[in-house]
Structure 1
Amino acid sequence: MSEPALMLAAAILCALAGFAWLALAMEVHWQQVHGGGTGPRRRLRLLGAGGLVASLLLCLQADPPSMAALVWLMLLAGAVLAVALLLAWRPALLRLAWPRRG
């Protein structure tokens, strides 16, 4: 696999993780995934934003800036759709993004 392809694959993973963390930062989704309690909202929001920024930086490394911006926007649309579908059909799978401790 070529280096740009690996960077784009990493960008996809970062975007998926970022949106999963942002979803878990919301109380309703935290309870849906973990069955109650409250999560570390601030930490999850920071991690989510960091994941999205990391995905942008990886896209910029893989492609020229004009193409990277387009790829990143399409990647964001796909990642947010994937997380939304996971929340609708199998919310327990998002425990992989932030397992409940204790």
Structure 2
Amino acid sequence: MIETTRTFIPDWVSPPGDAIADLLEERDWTQLQLADRWSREFLIPSEYEGELAKLKHKADVTIFTKRIRIHPGIVVGRLQYDRLIDPSWMNDLKVSLHFQEIENV
């Protein structure tokens, strides 16, 4: 019998961080590239990709987001990131989150 100090962990039990690190290495992506691809493929489904460039007014964004059932801020952020609208446009459709610092007890 071979003795080992290393514990066997099957691949399907790997912590999520390990799986993400493996994906980054396997595809030669940076964390930013992974986040960008995830947001493009998950937050706004690819079937709606062609409609984004047509969204030039708040009313258009609101109608579009109600139809595909996502928050307008996600679409506005994507439009700004893709430089389809100016970064100063439609920011009132976005929501800012502020987290209160919690002291250790």
| TM superposition score category, shorter chain reference | under 0.3
Which has the bigger relative contact order, CA under 8 A and spacing at least 6? 1
Higher helix share: 1
Report the TM-score when normalising by structure 2. 0.23
Select the structure of larger CA radius of gyration.
2
